[in-house]
Structure 1
Amino acid sequence: MAEDEKPAKAPKAERPAKAAEGEKPARQPKSDKGGGDKAAKGQKGGPREGKGAPKDKGGAKEKVARTPRPKDYKPRMKTHYEKVVRDEMAKQFGYENAMQIPRIEKVVLNMGVGEAVNDRKKVDAAAKDLAMIAGQRAVITRARKSVATYKVRDGMAIGCKVTLRGDRMYEFVDRLVTIALPRVKDFRGLNPKSFDGRGNFAMGLKEHIIFPEIDYDQVDEVWGMDVIVCTTAGNDDEARALLRGFNFPFRT
């Protein structure tokens, strides 16, 4: 019997020719797995919802509305200072130079919100009311150090403040003396000794609702506030005479 013939080997498939140096072979496109379209799941950069959605950071900040003023506008108290108070101060203290006559440099309004330790929203509400009173945006004040007794941590928001200069300062002084202080219950006048020895005067108000800008029906809580009047006077006597010229009602 003839020897069994071995089957012929199948010819090997030819290898693809090597690409020229510096050229990379083109990749074949991958087939879509699962038959689903990735675009249907959400395109990159499109709006997302749920846990993966970007958080809203609060949007634009609210701005205090400003009333347009004429070019020749000047606050009433500023005119009163230039035409009346300056002459009276020069006669009373005998200043040789007009630049020596004291003037109000700035007015600082401060609100301390102790309840903010438990509720951060109360600071925002107080800052909104203070901005309405002052006519400009309030700045949030933060704790400089931690106090365990009062549950205060370093950097925690505990109040707000506003610094007024120029025309807004004179407008606030006018509203304070003419409207706000007469609305204080059982008001008997300001303490004439509330000066710091350098011509600066400080006073405290128990209720911020005495200002006409605050609507009592829309206020959730009543806040107290400090009013600090900084002058260029060299001593308390000159500063007291200056504020009397602005009709500050000091006790006699």
Structure 2
Amino acid sequence: MNTMRNLKIAAVTVNMGIGEGGKRLAIAEKLLEQLTGQKPIRRMATKAIQPFGIRKGLPIACKVTLRNEKGIDFLKRALEAKDRRIKSSNFDQLGNFSFGIREHIDIAGVKYDPNVGIVGMDVNISIERSGSRVKKRALKRAKIGKRHLVSKDDAIEFIKKEFNVVVED
């Protein structure tokens, strides 16, 4: 098979939406750093939601983007927390997929801490082929042909083969 047709995990993004700043967000950042081994960044509210007491620009979430081996290692642990089962509706048309983990203690090696409580997270995975940098680079940017884009079916087959995941309808 042509090596340019091989799929790979481009990035694994882990997001914790807390909904408020302050102490709970600081605890979530610390927990996310323990889980991933990388310092998270804060995400600000893009608009005000008065019933929830959220103002525009208020930090309400944190996220980490993992690439290469760190991303694959975390993805394996996160898939174990989901019992290696994902719905086919979690995949988009460009081959990316997402799933949620309701409780962080479902991840292997994490123990319950009463100071932290229970925190959920979203895990987003981007899948790409070799050579996809041409659409992102600054100089000589180019389009990628339709045959080289990752389809939903390609991504499902890749995840089934590489990570032994059961994709349910």
Distance in 1 between the 2:31 and 2:165 partners?
Answer: 24
Larger radius of gyration: 1
Aligned to 1:211: 107
Q: When the two structures are superposed, what TM-score results if normalisation uses the length of structure 1?
A: 0.55
Query: Which residue of the other structure, out of 103, 117, 137, is the alignment partner of 2:39?
Result: 137
Q: What do residues 194-244 of structure 1 show as CA deviations (whole Å, max 9, x unaligned)?
A: 111111001111111112342214553211111111001521000111111
Aligned to 1:94: none
- One-letter amino acid of the counterpart of residue 146, structure 1: A
Aligned to 2:92: 196
8 A contact 2:81–2:101 mirrored in 1: no
CA RMSD of aligned residues (A): 1.9
Q: When the two structures are superposed, what TM-score results if normalisation uses the length of structure 2?
A: 0.79
Larger RCO: 1 or 2 (CA < 8 Å, sep 6+): 2
Change (3 A) 1:144 1:234: same
Distance in 2 between the 1:181 and 1:197 partners?
Answer: 22
Alignment of 1:7-22 (within 5 A): none
Please state if 1:99 is matched with 2:4.
Answer: yes
Please state if 1:237 is matched with 2:153.
Answer: yes
Where does structure 1 lack aligned partners over 5 or more consecutive residues? Answer: 1-89, 91-96
Distance in 2 between the 1:103 and 1:112 partners?
Answer: 27
8 A contact 1:140–1:160 mirrored in 2: yes
Aligned to 2:131: none
**Displaced runs of 4+ in structure 1, greater than 4 A?**
none
Secondary structure at the counterpart of residue 168 of structure 2: coil
Query: Which residue of the other structure, out of 55, 60, 71, is the alignment partner of 1:169?
Result: 71
Structure with bigger strand share is: 2
Query: How much identity, in percent, do the aligned residues show?
Result: 32
Alignment of 1:1-252 (within 5 A): 90=1, 97-114=2-19, 116=20, 120-177=22-79, 179-182=80-83, 189-232=85-128, 234-245=150-161, 246-251=163-168
